[in-house]
Amino acid sequence: MNNLKIPERKNGIELEYQLSEPPQKVWRAISTPELRQNWLPQDALANPEAIAVTPGKEVRYRLRDDVPPFLESTVTFKISSNANGGTSLRIIHELDDARLRETEKTAANTNSLTVMRAA
């Protein structure tokens, strides 16, 4: 049969930044609502509260698009110290709206690629 590997679709992006500021300062900027408001407005959030927090290391928020169909996504901010005394900031943004999962139904067949052979 056909054992062709199909790469898994990903609904997100991952970015990494090296900042000169210490991790404590970056943590305050991403976790304190008054400071976060300067670069991530509350209007962009589906919920103003973080959905998961590991103090000093990771915070996760729920975002909502401001245009229809108003899809929701999750953004995770991970921080760690870097070799220069600054901060490594990883931002992982995943589109994971429940409405998208409802439309991704599996096919009744094997759901594999059709490969035709020339005669």
pLDDT at residue 5 greater than cutoff 70: no
pLDDT tens-place string over residues 63-112: 998 887 888 899 999 999 999 999 999 999 998 777 766 554 555 566 66
The terminus-to-terminus CA distance of the chain in angstroms comes to: 18
Sequence-distant (6+) residues with CB within 8 A of 46 are 62, 63, 64, 72
Q: Which residue has the higher pLDDT, 26 or 101?
A: 26
Helix (H, G, I), strand (E, B) or coil at 35: helix
Architecture of domain 12-98: 2-Layer Sandwich (3.30)
Strand order in the sheet with 52-54: 12-19, 87-95, 72-81, 58-64, 52-54
Taking the whole predicted model, whether its pTM rises above 0.85 is answered as no
**Per-domain boundaries in the chain:** 12-98
